[in-house]
Structure 1
Amino acid sequence: MAVAGAQPRVAWASFAEESRGRIHPESEGGGRSAFRRDADRIIHSSAFRRLAYKTQVFSYHEGDHYRTRLTHTLEVVQVARSLARALGLDEDLAEALALSHDLGHPPFAHAGERVLDVCMAAYGGFDHNAQSLRVVTRLENRYPLFDGLNLSWETHEGIVKHNGPLEGPLPHAIEVHAERQDLWLWSWASAEAQVAAISDDIAYDVHDLDDGLRAGLFDLDEFSGLPLVGDIIADIRRAFPAMDRARFTHEIGRRMITALIEDVVAETRRRATLAAPASADEVRRLNGALVGFSAALAEAERAIKAFLFPRMYRHPRVMQEMNAAGEVVRDLFHRYMEDTAALPEEWRASVANRTEAARARRIADFIAGQTDRYALAEHARLFDSVPELR
């Protein structure tokens, strides 16, 4: 099937005019919807700009052609808007959620997050999704009357629960925020939030294969047996037997994105027909996700992830670099905790006269906001030796 263009808004979409509003009430005039305003505020935030120098898989010094956390985010936005348009959902809300989904990531990708979580184990732990909420509700200080970006309820909800309902112990930032705002943590999120989540998976699957090929971690023939990917490779070879490698690789990614988007659209429409939700809140109250892959494509997507995990994310070259990067995060955290005078002046003032746990949380905020190159510069300033990331 071909995915059509913009569709009429479905009954189970989110409607900006029906938003549950903001923590601090504001006028929503000026020709922009509440959700468009949310997306724009995120784009203009300093946390969003810093994503340009945060690792996706390969550190920035590896080369200019690999994805950064920012370029990955923009690719997620593109997929999310395409899905939202085809399904008749609110594109601005889907974009806002795609833009914000990685704001809380610390430097050095998941290695930095793992180490920071260990460092914070005695103080409530660290979770990048929860940190994204903390960024937009507390850490971005741009307005005279409130901290944070004062985003809509629906955007806060989607940041917190785009992967599904939250059960069990809550991450620290979410637990604290829940005292101020009820985000229905027990329910599924809006269809737009679910679109943002599955768009993240699509972008990861397609572009990590591309970056892994570019880095020489594996070759085309090594994943030609994967479901979906193998069929696409065979089709391209039949149609363009003499195509050069660069174009061939790009064509694989293009066809994968198309196939995955078309599958999500068809499967989501099928589920919506069966469940017949009449509003966004009815989507929230369903027993499972409304947006998803078909069974066949879900199996193919799992196979792609199963291939990438050992061959890319746990490749010795990547692991060596990420282990060294983890040392940088660990060293910085302990140094700042032991000697707050090592912090920049504005951050030093923010930890004065705080409990140990509150001081640790502010230090985690500082480290999580650092780019890869800033963290390395801080390490070089504070220590005699810097771990080699090559």
Structure 2
Amino acid sequence: MEWTQLLNPRRLCRPDYADKPNRPAYLQDYDRILFSEPFRRLAQKTQVHPLYDHDHVHHRMIHSMETSSVGRSLGIQVGEALVADSRLEDGLQHVMAGTVQAACLVHDIGNPPFGHSGEASIGAWFEQQFAANNGTGTGIAAGIAPEHRAEFEAFEGNAQGFRIVSRLEMARREGGMRLSYATLGAFAKYPCTASAAADAQDSYVGLKKFGCFAGEEALFAEVASALGLPQERTPSGERWWRRHPLAFLVEAADDICYRILDLEDAATVGDLGSEVVSEILEEITGKPNRAPEPEMTLRERTGMQRAMAIGAAIDSAVEAFLEHYDAIMDGTFNDGLMEVSSKAATFARLKEISNARIFTAQRKTALEVVGRKVIFTILDEFHALFVALKACDWDAERLLKEHGYWTQLVRAVDLDLRGVTDDYTAAHALTDFVSGMTDRYAIRVRDMITGQVPS
């Protein structure tokens, strides 16, 4: 892979679009993402601690913006080092930094309400639909081909994110937001479809999940071709691609932010003691324990340590990228940067603490149960709407003329029925609708369809 092609500023479905010196593609990408409605909704979506009233606990938007800041630092530091070694043309380090920053900003745009438990809830609901009638499925699930069922049973926010930016946004024009090939490549941690991930007999890191649905595979293939990403085939002939090198920096930025900042949030809400958090943060920075300055509160000291820990983690990720540079560039690097960095042991400990103390906190668990019930209730109700649409031969105008209740409901929630022509596209329209909800809006819709009176 070559940087001149990997940093391709041309746009999805607009390969003739020329980059502008006074407003380069990565800046336009950043702005298009920042001002989009799906990004705005991240301000009301769970990061780790659901539906918290505390003003200082992270939600998805803050996490995305902090990740983009860390990603920019990673990109410029790696870029400067490559320029110094004559492995990157001078000036492209700024393109690299801006591309990583934009990709980080958009990395969580496809996440549903209630965090990762929301993904699991959508998948569990579809599993039940596919398992009904001795596995033949019911409703719209019955008409979805077996090779496409994994897209719904293992609903994936990464693939939903690519669908949003490449198809659903900007009035659903061809290419959606029409982000640059470089930003889309850096965004794609899992450059494959669900069927390819399931069929591939390979332990490659980019196959752990899937990053695009079958309906958007042709769009992703355009991105991969424009960037020169190496293409592979599964035993049955499914396509998948090696990761864009900058995807490793986006992943590292995400790892750094959610591991360190989720730790700080846990102290804020009382799931972890501040002393425990302080000790771990000092382990990351390598600084010896020291008494706090007299005028500093424990919270202020934790904030200072958090900033220093992020800086130390960035340095370690940059070192890891440069150390494994050749393998990254030929597509054979098969790990995460933080897992091979000098901070690997501490980050492994952070993961253990998160699994044991943060992700299992009583309040978080209780609210995830509530979130699952909310999502199941909404999916049940709106699935019935799509079954009715199917009975109308997928004619939305006919549905709205013949069914007064569905007409009211579609208008009440502004449900988009464009492009629904069969069971597969209906299932995606249903998941587009539910996954696009914020936590609070999902609860409001649940209350509306169950007849609860607003307080």
| Cα distance between partner residues in 1 of 2:211 and 2:284 | 44
Gaps of 5+ in 1: 1-10
Can you list the C-alpha shifts for 1:135-189, whole angstroms capped at 9, x where unaligned?
001111347x535111222322333326999743585943322234423464432
User: Match for 1:199: what amino acid?
Assistant: A
Question: Within the alignment, does 1:146 sit opposite 2:184 as a pair?
Answer: no
SS in 2 for 1:65: coil
Can you list the C-alpha shifts for 1:320-354, whole angstroms capped at 9, x where unaligned?
011101111111011100135233475264376x4
Instruction: Note closer, same or farther for the CA distance 1:344–1:111 as it changes in structure 2 (3 Å cut).
Output: farther
SS in 1 for 2:170: coil
Q: Is the 8 A contact 1:188 1:288 kept in 2?
A: no
* Equivalent position to 1:188, from 217, 242, 252: 242
| Cα distance between partner residues in 2 of 1:164 and 1:229 | 39
SS in 1 for 2:418: helix
Q: Is the 8 A contact 1:17 1:33 kept in 2?
A: no
Deviates more, 1:93-102 or 1:24-33: 24-33
* Equivalent position to 1:250, from 291, 303, 307: 303
Instruction: Note closer, same or farther for the CA distance 1:17–1:59 as it changes in structure 2 (3 Å cut).
Output: closer
Q: 2:235 maps to which residue?
A: none
Gaps of 5+ in 2: 80-92, 131-148, 200-208, 232-239, 387-405
Question: Within the alignment, does 1:158 sit opposite 2:186 as a pair?
Answer: yes
Can you list the C-alpha shifts for 1:24-50, whole angstroms capped at 9, x where unaligned?
333433622223222221112111111
Q: 2:253 maps to which residue?
A: 199
Q: 1:331 maps to which residue?
A: 377
Instruction: Note closer, same or farther for the CA distance 1:313–1:156 as it changes in structure 2 (3 Å cut).
Output: same
Size of the aligned set, in residue pairs, is 366
Q: Is the 8 A contact 1:72 1:203 kept in 2?
A: yes
| Cα distance between partner residues in 2 of 1:224 and 1:78 | 23
Can you list the C-alpha shifts for 1:254-288, whole angstroms capped at 9, x where unaligned?
1210111111122222223xx2x8xxxx7153343
Can you list the C-alpha shifts for 1:87-129, whole angstroms capped at 9, x where unaligned?
1141111011101100000111111111012223444312000
When normalised by structure 2's length, the TM-score is 0.72
| Cα distance between partner residues in 1 of 2:117 and 2:252 | 22
Q: 2:100 maps to which residue?
A: 94
Q: Is the 8 A contact 2:160 2:212 kept in 1?
A: yes
Q: Is the 8 A contact 1:54 1:107 kept in 2?
A: yes
Structural RMSD (CA): 3.1
Counterparts in 2 of 1:96-135, with a 5 A limit? 96-121=102-127, 122=130, 123=149, 124-125=151-152, 126-135=155-164
Instruction: Note closer, same or farther for the CA distance 1:306–1:225 as it changes in structure 2 (3 Å cut).
Output: same
Q: 1:175 maps to which residue?
A: 214
Deviation (angstroms), 1:16: 7.6
Q: Is the 8 A contact 1:264 1:293 kept in 2?
A: no
User: Match for 2:164: what amino acid?
Assistant: V
Question: Within the alignment, does 1:35 sit opposite 2:35 as a pair?
Answer: no
* Equivalent position to 1:367, from 434, 439, 444: 434
Instruction: Note closer, same or farther for the CA distance 1:235–1:163 as it changes in structure 2 (3 Å cut).
Output: farther
Q: Is the 8 A contact 2:316 2:343 kept in 1?
A: yes
| Cα distance between partner residues in 1 of 2:292 and 2:186 | 42
Q: 2:410 maps to which residue?
A: 343
